[in-house]
């Protein structure tokens, strides 16, 4: 957003040179909470997130990775990480692919709800980087085949932390 908006005095976020700016995230501490289920795809999400954080200026020693068994367990892991007080943001990463039973619906809904609940309860940005796909081809496309959801969510985490810092 480069043009002023009529009737708005101060804007927090929305551009200001931050998105993609090298070094803009220096000093931020980010936790990656990743699901082991569909491991090869999740590893590509983790790699995408780590690469994007480095590109934005986060040092490798300021990024920590913790693994959960599956996407359903990510909210609890994120909550435990948030409660340490060590992180400016937590990025959750996982893959859930629809099967023949309603299990997909329950896992996706609870993972999304839980991540949002943790962010509100703990006062730490917790971002949802769980791919929810109808088939493996969709998941592969979003895990580095066409785009990398890990990189996108890591970038969003840095932008959100910057906005919150500015707003305080």
At 98, which CATH number? 3.40.50.960
Let me know if residue 99 belongs to a domain.
Answer: yes
Does the pLDDT value for residue 19 go beyond 60? Answer: no
- Main-chain dihedrals φ then ψ at residue 112, nearest 5 degrees: -65, -50
Q: Of the ranges 8-12, 98-102, 115-119, which one carries the lowest mean pLDDT score?
A: 8-12
Catalytic residue among 12, 38, 103, 140: 103
Query: Over 80: is that where the pLDDT of 53 sits?
Result: yes
Find the domain containing 112 and state its range: 30-167
Asked whether residue 120 is assigned to any structural domain, the reply reads yes
**Residue 4 belongs to some domain of the structure:** no
Name which of 2-11, 41-50, 83-92, 135-144 the model is least confident about: 2-11
Q: What's the rounded Cα separation, in Å, for the pair 43 and 90? A: 17
**pLDDT of 10 higher than 80:** no
**b/e per residue 82-100 (b: at least 16 CB within 10 A):** beeeebbbbbbbbbbbbee
In a domain, 34, yes or no: yes
Domain count within the chain: 1
38 is catalytic: no
Q: Is residue 105 part of a domain?
A: yes
Which two tokens mark 36?
């082991």
d(C-alpha 108, C-alpha 97), whole Å: 9
pLDDT at 84 over 70: yes
Region of poorest pLDDT, from 11-15, 54-58, 72-76, 147-151: 11-15
Does the structure show a pLDDT above 80 at 41? yes
Roughly what angle, to the nearest 10 degrees, separates helices 74-83 and 103-122? 10
Q: How confident is the model at residue 166 (pLDDT cuts 50, 70, 90)?
A: confident
Is residue 98 situated within a structural domain? yes
Identify the band that residue 9 occupies on the pLDDT scale cut at 50, 70 and 90.
low
H helix runs in 30-135, sequence order: 39-55, 74-83, 103-122
Is residue 23 included in any domain, yes or no? no
Q: What is the mean pLDDT of residues 89-95?
A: 98
- Report the predicted TM-score, pTM, of the whole model to 2 decimal places: 0.88
Of the candidates 168, 77, 81, the residue with the CA atom closest to the CA atom of residue 130: 77
Q: What end-to-end distance do the CA atoms of the chain give, in Å? A: 21
Q: Which residues of 17-47 are buried (b: 16+ CB within 10 A; e: fewer)?
A: ebeeeeebbeebbbbbbbbebbeebbbbbbe
Residue 154 domain-assigned? Answer: yes
Contacts of 153 (CB under 8 A, 6+ apart): 49, 91, 92, 93, 127, 128, 129
Residue 131 has pLDDT above 80, yes or no: yes
Give mean pLDDT, residues 63-78.
97
Q: Give the whole-number percent of the chain exceeding pLDDT 90.
A: 80
């Amino acid at each position: 957003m480069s043009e002023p908006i009529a009737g708005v005095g101060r804007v927090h976020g929305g551009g200001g040179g931050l998105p993609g700016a090298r070094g803009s995230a220096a000093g931020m501490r980010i936790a990656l909470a990743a699901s082991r289920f569909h491991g090869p795809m999740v590893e590509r999400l983790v790699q995408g997130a780590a690469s994007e954080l480095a590109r934005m200026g986060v040092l490798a020693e300021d990024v920590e990775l913790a693994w959960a068994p599956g996407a359903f367990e990510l909210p609890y892991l994120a909550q435990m990480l948030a409660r340490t007080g060590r992180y400016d943001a937590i990025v959750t990463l996982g893959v859930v692919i629809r099967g023949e039973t309603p299990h997909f619906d329950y896992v996706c809904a609870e993972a999304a709800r839980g991540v949002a609940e943790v962010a509100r309860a703990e006062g730490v940005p917790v971002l949802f980087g769980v791919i929810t796909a109808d088939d493996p081809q969709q998941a592969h496309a979003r895990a580095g085949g066409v785009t990398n959801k890990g990189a996108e969510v890591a970038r969003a985490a840095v932008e959100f932390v910057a906005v919150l810092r500015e707003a305080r």
